[in-house]
Amino acid sequence: MSRQYFGTDGIRGRVGVPPMTVDFVMKVGWAAGKVLSNQGKGTVVIGKDTRISGYMFESALEAGLAAAGLDVVLLGPMPTPAIAYLTMAQRATAGIVISASHNPYHDDGVKFFNGDGYKLPDHTELEIEAMIASDLVMVDSELIGKATRMEDAKGRYIEYCKSSIPFNTTLKGMKVVVDCANGATYHIAPAVFRELGAEVIEIGTNPNGLNINKDVGALHPENMRSVVLENQADIGIAFDGDGDRLMMMDARGDVKNGDQLLYVIAQSKLVKSGMAGGIVGTLMTNLGLEHALKLHDIPFVRAKVGDRYVMEMLRDNDWLIGGESSGHIICLDKSTTGDGIIAALQVLDWLVSEQLTLAEACAGMSLYPQVMINVPLTHKVDVQGISAVQDAVKEVENELADRGRVLLRPSGTEPLIRVMVEGEDSAEVNKFARQLASCVTEFAVG
């Protein structure tokens, strides 16, 4: 069945524009309560990022869930992975995150975790969509749900993060710049690293409801560069607005993306625990990671773009580590979802144990030049069915052989075909990308 409201990461949109209106979000809360409740009973944990609209949607969800007969535990501003963890810790029926992740403040969204801390399966989201179409009928007055606030949510999650690395690991002597994107990690990430002994320099920790992700955080890691260099910091760590995405920076000011951080974590797992299984990346994962992992005999597979699909492939293969170039990194032995703080701690633990700098830890992997050209479409088209385009792709693939790769894929949100070429030689990659983009324009756009 096709989805009307749910995307790959919950329901998301511009605040005040359907579906992100107050009345609809209240209906979503009620519908989710009806679908997820156990004979009309249960508890749902709700957390949010720092968008101004979070206050409004928190109240709407609370009302909808109470009308369905479920109790609510309000966490306040908390990272997405914290809500997954606290849902499990509370033995709650479900967890709800009010966030639009890396989007600007004028967007917001709602996403769900089940009682095990994993995102809802497709069939459950479809059940919720079907229930949304029903009339809202509240439970009898004596069965209305109650709401409480968890006052120590922050402290619980800080301790959980610290427990993801060995007790004897200390960050003493390390100077760290932490950029929290004026988002949900603002009051948590600096405390985690300080309590582990690091000297922390904070940026992006003054949210005002409107500045989340604005020129800071994982989407703008260059914001850290001057702070890292001026303070002669050992490392920079940048999160996105809801704390599930991570970028890091070495002492020279060079950004290390999700692929490079996956490589460091894979090295750590290989040495410390024998690396059971392999690594899951996506169609966009840099070929340099695949080749570097191959040198260590670590299996690697690609999922569709989106942490939801990375998670599915991890669970299907019974593997533990996966992620995206964008910085979503999943360590299933530590967390049930992508967690920026926990991923950063895995990297830091390896650096400390091996007495390495971040630059040294990443040195075994080379990022291949990657060129992406977006070709606008005038109408929906399947490039896989256009023989001239496919012949051009095969010709480039033959030229690149095992030195590169080609990917043509439609955008999930815009009328575009994304033409990506990756390889060892930058000039060659640029030439082939332009060549294929021209071919797509000629035969797919017309």
Q: Looking at the annotation, which residues are catalytic? A: 101
- Cα 176 from Cα 193, distance rounded (Å): 8
Both tokens assigned to 399: 């030229």
Q: Write the DSSP assignment of 280-345 as a string of letters.
A: EEETTS-HHHHHHHHHTT--EEEEPSSHHHHHHHHHHHT--EEE-TTSBEEETTT-SS--HHHHHH
In single-letter form, the type of residue at position 103 comes to N
430-435's contacts with Cβ under 8 Å and 24+ in sequence apart are 430/369, 430/371, 432/396, 432/399, 432/400, 432/404, 432/406, 433/371, 433/372, 433/373, 434/373, 435/392, 435/396
Q: Count Cβ atoms below 10 Å from residue 193 Cβ, excluding itself.
A: 24
What stretch of H or E contains 372? strand 370-376
Both tokens assigned to 141: 């007055």
